[in-house]
Chain A
Amino acid sequence: MAKIDLSNISHTYNPLDPKPTYALNPFSMTWENGKRYAILGPSGCGKTTMLNIVSGLVRPSKGEILFDETPVTDLKTEDRNIAQVFQFPVIYNTMTVYDNLAFPLRCREFTKDKIEERVKAVSDTLNLSSFLNSPARKLTADQKQLISLGRGLVREDVAAVLMDEPLTVIDPDLKFRLRRNLKEINEQYKTTLVYVTHDQNEAMTFAENIIVMDQGEIVQVGLPKDLFEKPKTTFVGYFIGSPAMNIFHSTVSSDHEVKINDTTIKTNSNLGNLKDKNVKLGIRSEFIELAEKEKSNTVKIKLTRVEDFGNFKLLTGKMGDLVIKSKVEREKPIPDGELNLYFPPEKCCVYSDEKLV
Chain B
Amino acid sequence: MSKLYTFLKYFFITFWTVFVVAPFLWAVSTSFKDFQSVNSKVTYIPWLDFEPTLEGWRVLIKSPAKGGVDIVEPYFNSIFVTCTASLISIVLGTLAAYALSRFTFKAGFVRNNDITFFFISQRIMPPIVLSIPFFIFLSTIGLLDSLLGLVVVYIVLLMPIAVWIMVDFFNRVPKELDETALIDGCNPYQAFYKVVLPNSIPGLIVAGMFCIIFGWIDFFFAFILTFTEVQLLPVKVVALNSSITPWWSLSASALVSVAPLIIVAFIVERYLSKGNLSGALK
Contact = CB atoms under 8 A, between A and B. Distances in A.
A267 to B, nearest CB: 48
B176 A107 contact: no
Interface stretch (A29-37, A84-92, A125-133): A84-92
Contacts of A55: 183
Contacts of B177: 90, 92
A92 B197 CA distance: 11
B174 A90 contact: yes
B199 interface: yes
Contacts of B190: 107
Contact of A151 (B180, B199, B201): B180
A57 to B, nearest CB: 5
A225 interface: no
A208 interface: no
Nearest to A162: B183
B272 interface: no
Interface string A74-116: 0011100111101010101110000000011001100000000
Which among B174, B183, B184, B186 has the highest number of chain A CB atoms within 10 Å? B183
Contacts of B176: 86, 88, 90
B198 to A, nearest CB: 4
B185 interface: yes
A92 B195 contact: yes
15 contacts: A76-B182, A77-B183, A78-B182, A78-B183, A82-B183, A83-B183, A84-B179, A90-B174, A90-B176, A90-B180, A92-B199, A93-B198, A94-B199, A94-B201, A104-B184
Contact of B185 (A57, A86, A104): A104
Given A57-B179, A94-B199, A78 B174 contact: no
A107 B186 contact: yes
B180 A78 contact: no
Given A57-B182, A90-B174, A92-B177, 19 more contacts: A55-B183, A57-B179, A77-B179, A77-B182, A77-B183, A78-B182, A78-B185, A81-B185, A82-B183, A83-B183, A86-B179, A88-B174, A90-B176, A90-B177, A93-B198, A104-B183, A107-B185, A107-B186, A107-B190
A78 B198 contact: no
B121 interface: no
A90 B179 CA distance: 10
* Interface size grouping (class) on chain B: 10 to 19
A76 B185 CA distance: 10
List of 10 A-B pairs having minimum Cβ-Cβ separation, nearest first: A107-B185, A104-B184, A94-B198, A77-B182, A90-B180, A90-B176, A108-B185, A84-B183, A86-B176, A78-B182
A265 B275 CA distance: 69
B7 to A, nearest CB: 38
Contacts of A77: 179, 182-183
Nearest to B190: A107
Contacts of A108: 185
Given A78-B185, A78-B187, A104-B185, A84 B198 contact: no
A138 to B, nearest CB: 12
Nearest to B198: A94
Interface in A52-76: 55-57, 76
Contacts of A86: 176, 179-180
A222 B199 CA distance: 43
Contacts of A76: 182, 187
A154 B25 CA distance: 60
Nearest to B180: A90
A92 B201 CA distance: 13
Interface string B155-186: 00000000000000000001011011011111
Contacts of B180: 84, 86, 90, 148, 151
